[in-house]
Amino acid sequence: MTTYDYIIVGAGASGLMLADALGRDVFFSKKSILLLEKDNKQKNDRTWCFWETGEGSFNSVLHKSWNRIFFAGEVYSEQLNLSPYAYKMVRGEDFYDTYLKRLKTYPNISFALGTVTDIQNKNALVQITTATTIYHAKKVFNSVFDYKKLLEQKKYPVLQQHFLGWFIKTEHPLFDVDQATFMDFSIPQKGNTRFMYVLPTSTTEALIEYTLFSKEVLSVAAYEEGLKTYIKDHLGCENYVITNHEKGNIPMSCFNFNAYNSPNILHIGISGGWAKPSSGYTFMHSYKKVQQLIPFLKKDLPLDRFNKKNRFWFYDLLLLDILDKENSKGRLIFEQLFKNQRPQNIFKFLDEETSFWEDLQIIAACPKKEFISALLRRIFKI
């Protein structure tokens, strides 16, 4: 079979979430669905973190959660209680295993291995070409991201959230298993926005991640040197083993990703702009987008009518404008934000669930000069 009602390209977080949502909904039980992926998804290739209240939808695949976080800036640092929120971690291998097993229980969903080389609209159908097979579908959901297209446009700034993380195991107990280091900006900024994550999974094990919001990525050696220095100087640890590592890069841009969609092709996940531009958080944002997409599909509307801008898009744009012009301002912005606002309010704002009055309180907690200047530049093109 090479012709389907729906084809989902890519079995990452957004592709698997969408396939599962379609499989669970009886409305789509007569739809033939193919999940097309280049890899067998049996590696722990990434870790996703997010916050939410209560058990949520991913309790069965959670690896760890924390009720407290630590934030550190240049002059302000604090341990913060998150209740009623929790900060949560999902490992890639657990997520893939659980969701792929679940998809096997849906008789109308198939899985195929193949590297997609081309996707084109062909009259009423979309044609997908791999090295060995040509597929056709009425609707295609593509999660394959192409950085080149994003960099070709100049209307909106493009930053990268890029990172290298080490999973380490220490000889002696070192970590507080109930507290995650959310952002530690006390490290040298070197003209960028740089911080560390520390996500303990036991008293002797943690994921430590060196993260930047900047235009250019670092060499592997530069990430590694930053991690070594932090573990030694900030954590006071010299004896440890690296049990695994992960590397990632998430685009941060308010570019109109819908420009690449068509009535029968929708880009999803990072490829569809589902990463929160101001923070890079993608996992929970993708989940929420899928929940919105399911009722949209039932209306059988053109797929390029799905994405819509809101006021949070403009807030994100102002932050990215600031970091594009002065990349080192990130530490100042986040430090003042966490100093002047409770983390619960910040999480609610980043989840785009605040009222306009609450938005103003969050914005007032940030450096005013930088945001007013960014606003004026956008309005008057100065």
Q: Is 352 left (phi over 0), alpha (psi -120 to 50) or beta?
A: left
Mean pLDDT of 47-57: 93
Average pLDDT over residues 5-17: 96
List, for residues 236-260, the tens digit of each pLDDT value.
Answer: 999 999 999 999 999 999 999 988 8
382 has pLDDT over 60: no
pLDDT at 45: 86
pLDDT of residue 297: 97
Overall average pLDDT of the 300-311 stretch: 93
**Lowest model confidence (mean pLDDT) among 39-53, 102-116, 171-185, 227-241:** 39-53
Residue from 197, 163, 171 nearest 182 by CA = 197
Q: 41 pLDDT exceeds 90?
A: no
Predicted local confidence at residue 307, as pLDDT? 86
Q: Quick one: what percent of the chain has pLDDT higher than 70?
A: 99
CA 72, CA 78: separation in Å to the nearest integer? 7
pLDDT band at 343 (very low <50, low <70, confident <90, very high): very high
3-class DSSP state for residue 250?
A: strand
Sequence-ordered list of residues with C-beta below 8 angstroms from that of 112, at least 6 positions apart, any chain = 34, 35, 36, 37, 133
User: pLDDT for 197-236, tens place per residue?
Assistant: 999 999 999 999 999 999 999 999 999 999 999 999 999 9
pLDDT at 164: 97
Structure confidence at residue 159 as a pLDDT band (50, 70, 90): very high
- State the helix-helix crossing angle for 13-24 and 283-298, rounded to 10 degrees: 40
- Counting runs of H as helices and runs of E as strands, what totals does the chain give? 10, 17
In this prediction, residues 95-124 reach a mean pLDDT of 94
pLDDT at 166: 97
> Residue 334 — φ and ψ, nearest 5°?
-70, -35
* Angle, CA 47 vertex, CA 44 and CA 48 arms, to 5°: 140
